[in-house]
Chains A and B, each alone.
Chain A
Amino acid sequence: MTTKQQIRVTVNGTPYVREVEARLTLADFLRHELHLGGTHVGCEHGICGACTILIDGRSARSCLTLAVQADGASITTVEGLRNRETGHLHPIQQSFVDAHGLQCGFCTPGFMMTTLELLNENPSPSDDEIKEALGGNLCRCTGYQGILDSVRLAASRLRTAQDA
């Protein structure tokens, strides 16, 4: 149980080599070994989506993934959204701020990572497509209206940025 295994992962562009226990979840690895606390844990059984990250561009529940399963992968977490050079928020982050897409903010990193995947694949989602994409993330505070507005706003801003 306590045998350790070496893994190599790239997180938000930074490569890491670490020895981890086989049973360590990826959420715990990111949060407590790499000190990337923005990925939150709300249920640890795959329902709430607070722990959503991108593994090689695909959204995944880091609470249901073991760190060893991520060996060789490239991971994006909420900490990877902000522009490191300028310090500016990512358009998705800024849209959540501007359209009041959060209250306590605990679910928000998960929603934003899901949104990132959605908008990467579908820059002009309809409301139904947005709902379909976000259907696996729970928010107990907002009633989702501000979140829907935020995603619409982010989509339009990213499209404009692309056109420019």
Chain B
Amino acid sequence: MRPLMAIEIPTRPDQLPTTAPRFVGKAVKRIEDPALVSGTVEFIDNLSLPGMLHCAILRSPHPHARIVSIDTTAALSLEGVEAVLTGDDVARWCAPGITAPEGWGNYCMAVGKVRFVGEPVVAVAAASRYIAEDALELVQVEYELLPPVANPDEAMAPGAPLVFEDRGTNVIQSRSYTWGDIDRVFAEADRVVSRKFRWNRVGANPTETFGCICQWDLADNSLTCRGAYQTPRFMALGRAASLKLPANKVKVISHAQGGGFGGKGGPRGTDIAALLSRKTNGRPVKYIEDRIEYLLAGGGQSWDRYYEAALAVKADGTVTGFRVRLVDDQGAGAEGYGTISAAKPLAAFTGNYRIEAAFYDMTLVATNRAPTYPYRGYGPPPHNLVLESLMDIAARELAVDPAELRRRNYIRPEQFPYTVPSGNEYDSGNYAAVHDRVLEMADYQALRKAQAKARAEGRLVGIGVVSTVEPGVFDWNAYATVGVPGVGVPEGVKVAVDILGNVTVAVGFNLQGQGQFTVAAQVVADYLGVDMNSVRVATASTDVAMPHFGQGGSRLGVAVSGAILGACDKLRQTFSRVVAHLMHAEPEQVELIDGRLQLKHAPEHGMSVAEVAGVMLARSDLLPPGVEPCPEATYVWTAPNRNLPDDQGRCRSYLTAANATHVVQVEIDRDTGQVTIPAYFIVDDCGTRLNPASVEGQLQGGVAQGVGAALYEEYVYDAQCQPLVSTFVDYLVPTIHEVPMTTKDHLVTPSPVAPLGAKGCGEGAIHTTPAALLCAINDALSPLGREILETPASPHRLWKVLHGPCA
């Protein structure tokens, strides 16, 4: 047998086996869209299975209470009700969710006590959702109220009530990291600027809530879950653990999702629907979360943070140190992996700057708020807001232009690859060039002049200039310090050519909005020289899919490209053997170019990809020995060169470092505290833009969510830990009126290490926009000697800053 040749993953589009890429790098139309605009895509609530029942969930009205008794007799006797599920069933059949750090998981329904408003207490399966909800009204639950733990101060007070009694504390994790000689740089600083910040809870709120249909097969004790699943195999593993099934007995079929942004949720709803199916002798049970459930207790609450932070600055404006103390209200446990979002800033702790030393003290606390989940960016947006606000404050104190102060401190192009104090390595970039380009595009000097004029007229106009790094292509090692094991995030595909030359790419995830099916089709079409129309991208269920993760961590566009390129290279090698055999040549003499495998020295002799596939499938008599009749290949990609972290969490974690500079102009209405955004400019550099239209869509969508987080969105709780937000009337997702139509441009510094040179680009704007807006607002307030260090800078909060006593 011939030794296997190494698989080569091109890191530049011009290395693709084509004269010139026809699709990669072009703003091609998305293959997802015709079905989506026709309304024919099978979102989970569009699917019905024979005999299907509908689930409704009774949720706790109390933040913290012992369950004394539950009476479900009346509910069970309602016509159409098939089963009722309570904590007793759950305690008998399930395990609490696995968490990092370990031991802070909940069961899928309250067992013994409730820990937050909205926690599931009883679930019903009935002939319709209407009947299931009727039945909930017949359930009697008696509670004995416990004192709620409303915030981290209360949680950490001596003698505080415990959210998880068996833990003996409400502190999930408390640790610090020291990177470099932090005490020295602060001692030697000419100036130290420090502030406290408060970032209130926000969250993903995809337009489609979570939903699923679960069916327990009682014959072989296996489970099939169809639904709006963002990370299918991860979800299957989690369900196997919580439902005590072997992992290969849980099959997850991911349907197209109406957005995700990390906060899709799903574990509890899936387990509950699965157990109801088990209780109804294997009938399929559908659970569709409604918006109120999502807002109260879905996967959508994130980042509830109290910061104290300081920058060490030299007289010449060199920033030398960054110290951060974070207290993070995780809510009722760590079931949603909200802990990770506190560790993620390690991947780019000191942003775009050559800051030599840093310190991070991180305390993660359990309270009786809803558990926190991931949200786009997974942690850095508040961290960047703190760092960038301090940069602006330092600039004001030094009387240096804030844009200029940043420029002086940027990592220089010749310093890449650059290792930041917190350990990650940035692959490439040119921050000053991005910065200069956006200042030029925005005509920054003219903006400042206009601001001076407006100020003279008594108007509150401000400008924010903020640069951030977007760590792209996540790796588990980034989260090791909160207890997540492992290095490497496998993403696998199968590329199959059929007898007529059509290509199918099987992936392990489904549509969510970012356009990865289109990227997959672009890459495979350019590699194999076929038309994009000849490519079909299909979702494999978890029982047959290659190892995969799916959307998350600003990674999938790059990862799926890597997997496809690997599989295509394997195909190329096999096809070359076939062609060489047929043409009495050596495989090394065969090349693939524009969809044709031809002899390098005699290019007129060759075969198309379709012809080779046809020979392989239909003329086994012509195949060389050892070649299977299979024009298909699989490949599982993971980022190269990742490593285990040291005791301070330092490692090469995220593979790519995209960056952007935003320039925003705001005006504050003195009378109402309302912020308007007359102008917004972005220049970004995410390396090769696989589909420029999709990149721009990601940027603009991230801006919208950043506007929401900075100005409007907030999960408000009262002092008793009762949520005051339960509808879209209270949780203010920005509309077309609030979101600025941004002016964009870009530079391209290809990643030297990532497939096709592309960098993760889905999270950059939400990393940047909240900071840019808050900096602009404080710039507008600065002549008044007032500042706001809390988000969202909503009209009522800003009005208080404007009209309250000076701080």
Contacts and interface: CB of A to CB of B under 8 A. Distances in A.
Nearest to B693: A100
B514 interface: yes
A97 to B, nearest CB: 4
A37 B735 contact: no
B700 interface: yes
B39 A47 contact: no
Nearest to B134: A1
B212 interface: no
Contacts of B727: 43, 45, 47
B641 interface: no
The DSSP consensus for interface residues of chain A is: loop
A147 B256 CA distance: 21
Interface in B80-135: 130, 134
B183 interface: no
A109 B733 contact: no
A141 B702 CA distance: 8
A89 interface: yes
A131 B46 contact: no
B655 to A, nearest CB: 24
A39 B514 CA distance: 21
A72 interface: no
B677 to A, nearest CB: 12
B21 to A, nearest CB: 20
A82 B38 CA distance: 7
B750 interface: no
Nearest to B769: A143
Contacts, number: 179
B700 A146 contact: yes
Contacts of B514: 103
The DSSP consensus for interface residues of chain B is: loop
A31 B258 contact: no
A79 B39 CA distance: 6
B153 interface: no
Given A41-B45, A141-B701, A104 B208 contact: yes
A31 B513 contact: no
B701 A96 contact: no
Nearest to A38: B39
A48 B742 CA distance: 23
A37 B736 contact: no
A10 B40 CA distance: 20
A136 B728 CA distance: 12
A126 to B, nearest CB: 14
B38 A102 contact: no
A42 B736 contact: no
Nearest to A150: B37
A95 to B, nearest CB: 9
Q: Kindly list the 6 A-B residue pairs having the minimum CB-CB distance in the complex, ordered from nearest.
A: A38-B39, A106-B258, A105-B36, A104-B513, A143-B700, A37-B46
Interface of B: 27, 29-30, 32-34, 36-43, 45-46, 48, 130, 134, 204-209, 256-261, 290-292, 511-515, 693-694, 696-697, 699-705, 727-729, 733, 735-737, 739, 741-742
Given A42-B208, A104-B511, 19 more contacts: A37-B39, A39-B39, A45-B728, A94-B37, A97-B30, A97-B33, A102-B513, A104-B36, A104-B206, A104-B259, A104-B512, A106-B206, A109-B37, A134-B736, A139-B207, A141-B697, A143-B699, A143-B700, A144-B700
